[in-house]
Amino acid sequence: MILPLTRDQSLLCQLWQHCDGLLLTGGADVSHKFYAPRMPVRQRAAIQGVDEVRDEMEIWLTRAALRGGVPVLGICRGIQVMNVALGGTLLTDVPNHRHPEADGLIHRLHWEQSSKIRAALGAPAMPVNTSHHQALDKVAPGLRVTARAEDGIIEAVEHTTARFFWGVQFHPERLVKVAPQYRRLFKALVVASSR
């Protein structure tokens, strides 16, 4: 189900009752108002395409999912929303992480051995694509970093206590043809949501 963009929390509550899992997709930047309201103007200038209704809605959904134990998978903007929703911050402009090939296997990642995401992908873990100019800065309480790019940029997080609360900075949906193992992330979300 694709949820309509709305600030109407009563409508969101009604819709949320029909959701067994949450997929937070890629998209435009998250407004600084939700993580750094006093950000200097020069830094703010790098933020692009903000939709505060979407920001508010996805932050509300992320918190509701965590409270209710509903599985969450965040992709690109999605990992950023997850971090902001739990009190983290973002880097507003990261160089060298936007590549024109949507399915290009560009970055190797350094994974934590205990990562559930890496386990779901299977070994050996393939390189990933890169199509973002923002990334996680201060990691929110409750999240742990489970993968980084070679330059140190955070590429995956998992919640320390939630059953399934995973975020990735790359775009696995664009890789399923060139690296079919990335389908396993979506399968893992479906399996977790059916429990």
Q: Which residues are catalytic?
A: 76, 171, 173
Q: How far is CA 192 from the centre of its chain?
A: 17
CB 24 within 8 A of CB 84: no
* Phi, psi torsion values for 96, nearest 5 degrees: 65, 25
Alpha-helix residue ranges (DSSP H) falling in 95-157: 116-121
C-alpha to C-alpha distance for 125 and 128, rounded to whole angstroms:
9
C-alpha 168/C-alpha 109 separation (Å) is: 11
How far, in Å, CA of 14 to CA of 103, rounded? 37
Query: Is residue 75 within 8 Å of 166, Cβ to Cβ?
Result: no
Residue 40's contacts (CB-CB under 8 Å, 6 or more residues apart) are none
**Shortest CA distance to 94 belongs to which of 127, 131, 130, 135?**
135
Angle at 59 between CA 149 and CA 69, to 5 degrees: 85
